[in-house]
């Protein structure tokens, strides 16, 4: 159950960073969706380590295969099983990690919770787990696009203390992908890249913020009271490794306004009921109101650093651990497609739920 996400469009991820591979099973995918393995690979390539000179130099090809659920290029409504084999395994690199708990990693908590853990590459807590999310998210994004031109766009808005100027509309994918750091503001992107290279040279790491904007959202997605759209988006984002915060619309800053300043007044625009402002972030009473959904996610600095750190070993003795080898000084740029994927999964799921409850039957006595 903890490895499953969604209620109707339901994904189950599996796999550790070492062992046979990582993968995902999608249950509930609508049939007759045209789908090719290349479309999924394209998204995985955005997540892949080694894609640029600011990520880890680990080379992971991450070639995905679709094992089931597809027939003559279309989904059949049966489970889609997708898998990426593990490669480039160097178990010897993990000898020290078997015995010593890495600070701010999951080593200690996994060991205590389960009484056992796969220490190689972080095992299940490895970021490789997100491969399954991105593969599933690629399909969710395609469904949204085909079904209603819904576009999910994420980008890096801050790295460490370097922040891009505020924008009001979603940037194009081209602008985002133009730089290795996935910040659509070129000057800021340059500074971010510089900062990442600087901390890497120190064997240190940085975090940052990802902003996500979703346009053309149908009105009515989200289900009061516990499954508010922002609650499910928040859960989706906080389920990602290294996230520490989530805010939607006006967010934390909105608490500094008075009600008279914060409320989104309604108006009629182009024949539709719209809000003049969008401090709600596209969601009111837990339900999408047709305005752009936008939210921000905080990623802490990568826990793995190439410096000596005090820690404790499995036997309970204080010791020291020095990070070695290939290391990602900043995971935020690679997290962009993951944020998009999780957002798309939430939206597809709620769209199906809306259809089931509110469009299935029409009653005339």
In whole angstroms, the minimum distance from the beta carbon of 306 to its own copies comes to 10
Evaluated on CA atoms 269, 274, 279, 282, the torsion sign reads negative
Residues 105-124 contacting its own copies, CB under 8 A: 105-110, 112-118, 123-124
Six token digits for residue 161: 């203390």
Question: What span, in angstroms and rounded, lies between the C-alpha atoms of 255 and 268?
Answer: 27
Binding residue count for its own copies, defined by CB under 8 A:
164
Write the CB contacts of 149 (distance below 8 Å, at least 6 apart in sequence). 216
| Bridge partner list, 269 | 272
What is the Cα Rg of the chain in Å? 21
Nearer to its own copies, 3 or 51 (CB): 3
Give the binding range for its own copies (CB under 8 A) out of 50-58, 74-82, 166-174, 179-187.
74-82
Phi and psi at 154, nearest 5°, equal -115, 155
Q: Is 8 in the site for its own copies (CB under 8 A)?
A: yes
CB of 2 to its own copies, least distance (A): 3
Q: Per-residue x/- marks for its own copies, 137-176, CB under 8 A?
A: ------x--xx----------x-xx---------------
Assess 41 for contact with its own copies (CB under 8 A).
no
Q: Does 40 bind its own copies (CB under 8 A)?
A: no
178 vs 249 by CB, closer to its own copies: 249
Q: How many CB atoms lie within 10 A of CB 69?
A: 21
Cα dihedral 224/228/231/233 (nearest 10): 150
Residue 77 CA neighbour count, 13 Å, CB half? 2
Q: Which of 45, 50, 52, 66 binds its own copies (CB under 8 A)?
A: 66
| Footprint (CB under 8 A) of its own copies, residues 340-359 | 351-359
Q: Does 32 bind its own copies (CB under 8 A)?
A: yes
Q: Which residue is it, tokens 């766009």?
A: 153
Binding mask 299-318 for its own copies (x = CB under 8 A): xxxxxxx-x-xxxx---xxx
Q: Which of 217, 223, 293, 344 binds its own copies (CB under 8 A)?
A: 223
């Amino acid at each position: 159950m903890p490895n499953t996400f969604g209620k109707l469009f339901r994904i189950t991820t599996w796999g550790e960073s070492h062992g046979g591979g990582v993968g995902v099973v999608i249950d509930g995918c609508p049939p007759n969706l045209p789908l090719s393995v290349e479309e999924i690979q394209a998204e995985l390539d955005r997540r892949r380590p080694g894609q640029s000179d600011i990520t880890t130099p680990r080379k992971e090809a991450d070639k995905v295969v679709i094992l089931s659920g597809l027939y003559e290029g279309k989904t059949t409504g049966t489970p889609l099983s997708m898998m990426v084999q593990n490669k480039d395994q160097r178990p010897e690199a993990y000898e020290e990690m078997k015995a010593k708990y890495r600070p701010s990693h999951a080593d200690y908590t996994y060991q205590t919770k389960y009484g056992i853990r796969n220490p190689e590459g972080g095992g299940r807590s490895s970021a490789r787990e997100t491969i399954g999310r991105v593969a599933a998210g690629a399909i969710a994004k395609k469904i949204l696009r085909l079904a209603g031109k819904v576009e999910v766009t994420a980008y890096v808005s801050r790295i460490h203390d370097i922040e891009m100027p505020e924008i009001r509309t979603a940037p194009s994918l081209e602008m985002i992908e133009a730089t290795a750091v996935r910040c659509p503001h070129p000057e800021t992107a340059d500074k971010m890249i510089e900062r990442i290279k600087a901390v890497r040279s120190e064997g240190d790491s940085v975090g940052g913020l990802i902003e996500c904007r979703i346009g053309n959202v149908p009105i009515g997605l989200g289900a009061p009271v516990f499954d508010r759209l922002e609650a499910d988006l928040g859960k989706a984002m906080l389920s990602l490794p290294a996230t520490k915060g989530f805010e939607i619309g006006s967010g934390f800053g909105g608490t500094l306004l008075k009600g008279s300043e914060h409320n989104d007044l309604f108006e009629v625009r182009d024949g539709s009921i719209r809000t003049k402002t969008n401090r709600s972030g596209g969601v009111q009473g837990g339900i999408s109101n047709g305005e752009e959904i936008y939210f921000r996610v905080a990623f802490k600095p990568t826990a793995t650093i190439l410096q000596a750190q005090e820690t404790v070993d499995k036997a309970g003795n204080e010791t020291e651990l020095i990070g070695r080898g290939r290391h990602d000084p900043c995971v935020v740029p690679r997290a962009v497609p993951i944020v998009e994927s999780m957002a798309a999964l939430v939206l597809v799921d709620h769209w199906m739920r809306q259809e089931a409850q509110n469009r299935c039957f029409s009653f005339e006595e």
